[in-house]
Structure 1
Amino acid sequence: MTEHVVIGVDAGGTSTRCAVVTRGGRLLAHGRAGGGNQYSSADPAGAFESALRAALADAGDITVDAAVFGVSGASVGDANAVRTVTGVWKALGLPGTPYVSDDIVIAFAAGSAADAGTVLIAGTGAVAAYVRDGAVARRCDGYGWLLGDEGSAVWIALAGLRAALASLDGRGRPTVLAQHLAGALKTTPGDTQAIVRAAYARPPAGLGELAPVVAAAAADGDTVAREIVAEASERLLTNLATVAPDPLDAAPVVFAGALLSTGPVADTVREGLRTRYGTTPRIAADGALGAAGLALRRSGAPESAHAQLLKPPAAGERPRGRTAN
């Protein structure tokens, strides 16, 4: 028997995830491939196709009613992203035309089925936004590592590297970051020029991989690292307050991104949200589920189907899925 489904795709800088979902909000199959950012990934079209093929191979006999792509590095209706997505979609012989959105609304929809609310994203980059009716109504930051992304993993890593170098050349206070970051970069502790060369050799997004070193030092009590984490958390809270409605508890708040899932930044920002606004955030699920939730709504499915999709799976319930080679 043919199953009517929708498809959601979340294309980030490091991975692209695809979810095939029934009209009732049940995850049927999923696929995963490489990065699909329109500007930083090597082959977005190839990633889209691989993730789709991986999910469709396990979905069985289906009819696709709607699809939504959330593409990092693209705005809603971005011409380049639309062209790439449409080309892959047609090449696979799929019906209709997918809706192309950005990863901000997808992140909100991965944490809430509400029509409006606030989302704070902190991973490699950072952005806050107020989302209404599937579109960004207000946003703060998300300007990339050079001009913004304050409080992000890259921001934390850069602050840690600056503090380490200042400690080594005598401008700053002593900190274990001088040794720990040198070790993470596989350079000789105390060799400032080696640290500089290793840092500049990494792409900006790759520097974000050093943020856990700073977080670990903060957790161990290093004063400089703790101040960096506290400052990152404060900047994220400021971004959220800039876009959020007043009162904040009038609509849900969704946290998304690795920095806000666990660790000292997540703990500090969550506590700041609770003490300042009396609000507990919702944690976003896989972005592909958010994209599929928006696809359900665009197909005419009730809000309850989107809400059902975001519920944790029952014990032992696993959808079919694979990672593309």
Structure 2
Amino acid sequence: MSTYVIGMDGGGSHTRVALADENGKVLSYVQKGGCNRYHDANAEQDVLEGIAEAIRIAGLEVEQIASIQAGMAGLDQPEDTVWAEALLAQTGILGRISAVNDTHIAHTAAFGGEPGIVAIGGTGSLIMGKTE
């Protein structure tokens, strides 16, 4: 059986959802409105619709998704992460569900876990540095 994964980059203005196979080939890409629940009344709807649409465009069923990793604006406190992961669970994905602040995925993409500083300047602004 093939493994499919979803990556989501959710900012204050846009939420981008990509679905890929085990080789990293992107099978679908969807863009919706922002996902910061503190600034966008449609945040939950945009996240859920974006994920469902990405799965549909790829011609898959939700049961085929092995995991989803989401970087989302506004996940600044532990309760924000609890909210986000509960929201992602509403999609019906039974595999691994993980949500982190969008700064963390930007840092990982830029430095692959190594030390470095990343600055986000968009709808909101953040700077994150890692020394170890």
TM band (smaller chain):
0.7 to 0.9
Higher relative strand content = 2
Counterpart residue identity of residue 86, structure 2: T
Alignment of 1:80-99 (within 5 A): 80-90=80-90, 92-99=91-98
1:119 maps to 2:121 = no
Q: Which runs of 5 or more residues in structure 1 are unaligned?
A: 132-244, 246-250, 252-325
1:195-229 CA distances to partner (integer Å, 9 max, x unpaired)?
xxxxxxxxxxxxxxxxxxxxxxxxxxxxxxxxxxx
Secondary structure at the residue paired with 1:111? helix
CA offset at residue 75 of structure 1? 2.8
Question: CA separation of 1:109/1:22 partners in 2, compared to 1, >3 Å: closer, same or farther?
Answer: farther
Counterpart secondary structure, 2:3:
strand
1:44–1:82 Cα change, 3 Å: farther
SS at 1:106 equivalent: helix
- Displacement of 1:97 in angstroms is 4.4
Corresponding position: 1:9 with 2:35? no
Letter in 2 for 1:115: G
Cα separation, 2, equivalents of 1:27 and 1:59: 9
Larger Rg: 1
SS at match of 1:3: coil
Letter in 1 for 2:67: A
Give the fraction of aligned pairs with identical amino acids, expressed as a percent.
26
Q: TM-score, normalised by structure 1?
A: 0.36
**In the alignment, what sits opposite 2:74?**
73
Normalized per residue, which structure has more helix? 1
Q: Distance in 2 between matches of 1:30 and 1:3?
A: 19
Work out which structure has the larger RCO, using CA pairs closer than 8 Å and 6 or more positions apart in sequence: 1
Counterpart secondary structure, 1:13: coil
Give the corresponding residue for 1:106. 105
- In 1, distance between residues paired with 2:104 and 2:36? 16
| Amino acid of the structure 1 residue aligned with 2:14 | S
Query: Distance between the aligned counterparts of 1:27 and 1:12, measured in 2?
Result: 20
Instruction: Kindly indicate whether residue 47 of structure 2 is the aligned counterpart of residue 48 of structure 1.
Output: yes
Q: Are residues 1:129 and 2:118 paired? A: no
CA distance in 1, matches of 2:43, 2:109: 22
Shift of the alpha carbon at 1:88? 4.5
Q: 2 CA distance for matches of 1:127 and 1:87?
A: 24
**Post-superposition CA distance 1:142-201 (Å, at most 9, x none):** xxxxxxxxxxxxxxxxxxxxxxxxxxxxxxxxxxxxxxxxxxxxxxxxxxxxxxxxxxxx
CA shift, 1:8, in A, is: 1.0
Normalised TM-score (structure 2) = 0.81
Identify unmatched segments of 5+ residues in structure 2. Answer: none
User: What's the C-alpha RMSD, in Å, of the aligned pairs?
Assistant: 2.4
How far did residue 74 of structure 1 move? 0.8
Q: Cα gap change, 1:61/1:32 in structure 2, threshold over 3 Å: closer, same or farther?
A: same
User: 1:81 offset after TM fit, Å?
Assistant: 4.1
